[in-house]
Chain A
């Protein structure tokens, strides 16, 4: 096991599109172990994608089981060749990135998604995700397509955000 170097902005390699994994072998498993160790060594990252560690294959890890406020989640998932098959709703939330240190910003993501992906043994799996976990998944899949969250930043003043938050009602709403 090893902690891998994280590519950081403005490294142009972060813009490269990753390729499908073809061989589900021991070498893949060794890399996944290193990738997970790298994720855990970072600043409380709930996800990591292989291109962030300099490997342009479609491999991501997400784990939303340890958020400050518990959220619906599937625990730690190692997802190979993930493909989002359905999107529903939208939500705005704050994101940061191991590859973009010292910056966070607001991004709109689908609120619910359906997904299929291979596990590390090559078995095809299907998932449905919502909220924070769906956001994490979309953030990591973006890395596989050479997209960073800063490519999707929106202003907090956007009308979209105001309406969305109002609809959700936050945790407190008081009417006069």
Chain B
């Protein structure tokens, strides 16, 4: 199946998901994996869409809804498909005073260990004058826990707490 990655973003309001997915459904599309979340007052959607149709056809289903809801959208043909999940074996949790470069420094260290990020979410919380940064990363690495711990020690001089722990997924 030839999937398209549909990206939509715009000011959050009730009904975005319902309107967008209804338009796709009526266009004969099926949906695969999706990620939808509110970020900074915007609603963001990344969605695998397949209608066995051209990019232009898919765009024609979305465009009217996007215009009405003032959403920007983008379509990209994508390789791959469903059932390609990878189970994370490590979780990294980061928190500290917000400042530029936290993601870059932490993920740079992880990349150096061959750590494949499968999911990352981060938020700026606290107050306007004392913002606090919180980030959770799940991913897969062949390297052992000790290797990751040792590598993350490089960040010791920075004003952040970093925890790494292994994930033992239960199958039952």
Contact = CB atoms under 8 A, between A and B. Distances in A.
B93 A94 contact: no
Of A49, A156, A169, chain B has the most CB atoms within 10 Å of the CB of: A156
A95 B156 contact: no
Interface in B38-94: 83, 85, 87-88, 91, 93
B168 A170 contact: no
Contacts of A149: 172
A96 B168 contact: no
A17 B79 CA distance: 42
A93 B168 contact: yes
Contacts of B88: 94
Contacts of B164: 170-172
A23 interface: no
Interface in A10-60: 42-49
A172 B171 contact: no
Contact of B85 (A102, A170, A172): A102
Contact of B163 (A48, A140, A170): A170
Interface residues of A, number: 43
B167 interface: yes
B36 to A, nearest CB: 13
A93 B170 contact: yes
B121 A94 contact: no
B172 A45 contact: yes
A140 B170 CA distance: 11
B113 to A, nearest CB: 14
B93 A95 contact: no
Contacts of A113: none
Nearest to A105: B169
Nearest to A155: B121
B27 interface: no
Nearest to A171: B165
A104 B93 CA distance: 19
Contacts of B145: 171
A174 B165 contact: no
A104 B121 CA distance: 18
A135 B149 contact: no
Interface string A72-98: 000000000000000000000111111
Contacts of B121: 156-157
13 contacts: A45-B171, A47-B170, A47-B171, A93-B170, A94-B168, A96-B172, A102-B83, A104-B169, A135-B170, A139-B170, A169-B163, A175-B161, A176-B158
Interface of B: 83, 85, 87-88, 91, 93, 96, 119, 121, 134, 136, 138, 145, 149, 152-153, 155-156, 158-172
Interface of A: 42-49, 62, 67-69, 71, 93-98, 102-104, 132, 135-136, 139-140, 143, 149, 156-157, 162, 165-166, 168-176
**Nearest 6 interchain pairs by C-beta:** A170-B163, A47-B172, A170-B165, A139-B172, A94-B169, A96-B171
